[in-house]
Homo-oligomer: A and B are copies of this chain.
Amino acid sequence: MQTSPLLESLMEALRCLPGVGPKSAQRMAFHMLQRDRSGGMRLAQALTRAMSEIGHCEDCRTFTEQDVCTICSNSRRKENGQICVVESPADIHAIEQTGQFSGRYFVLMGHLSPLDGIGPQDIGLDRLEERLGQESLTEVILATNPTVEGEATANYIAEMCNAHGVLASRIAHGVPVGGELEMVDGTTLSHSLAGRNPVRF
């Protein structure tokens, strides 16, 4: 836009958002300027505060502006004695929405990937080991992604738990609810068969 350097720099800055190219950035900039300036100002303030104040929870490494996040500092969740290990803060959100888990979390912020130089320390496993030694945990639920790296990470943590005498469990793989069997891939179906449960009456 030859008419405004400020507009140009706004479009350029919007492209730091994932999935936003030049056309979307232009559309977003025009939309805010023409129809939602107050929304744009609110976004600027929320961004400034979030980028400068949000850090990581000392206990579970998730995003929070406090030293310890609200989930970790909740005493009822502490009593539960379970820790669910996930790869990203988004996974916490997904699990919280099921309403099935009332323990605490540990967020790896990634997975083990030796080829990319990501070792145990980079995903905070030294902190997890510290907690395994200090706290009286009943179970560590491994909810890393069902990918090769996720499985490898889960195995590594399971061995760590075993060394500390803490039960480690892996979330079940199988056929997703509501899907059709013929659409499910072979690996998932084998997992589903191998992990079959007896029907109880």
Contact = CB atoms under 8 A, between A and B. Distances in A.
Interface in A156-174: none
A42 B3 CA distance: 21
A63 B4 contact: yes
A3 B47 contact: no
A44 B48 CA distance: 6
Interface in A1-58: 1-7, 9-10, 12-14, 16-19, 24, 26-34, 36-37, 39-54, 57
A20 to B, nearest CB: 8
A71 B18 CA distance: 32
Interface stretch (A87-95, A111-119, A133-141, A193-201): A87-95
Work out how many copies of this chain go into the complex. Answer: 2
A69 interface: yes
A17 B28 contact: yes
Interface residues of A, number: 60
A47 B41 contact: yes
28 contacts: A1-B92, A2-B70, A3-B57, A3-B64, A3-B70, A4-B65, A4-B69, A7-B63, A7-B64, A9-B49, A9-B50, A10-B47, A13-B45, A16-B32, A16-B40, A17-B43, A19-B27, A26-B90, A30-B88, A30-B89, A32-B50, A33-B54, A40-B50, A41-B51, A44-B44, A44-B48, A44-B51, A47-B47
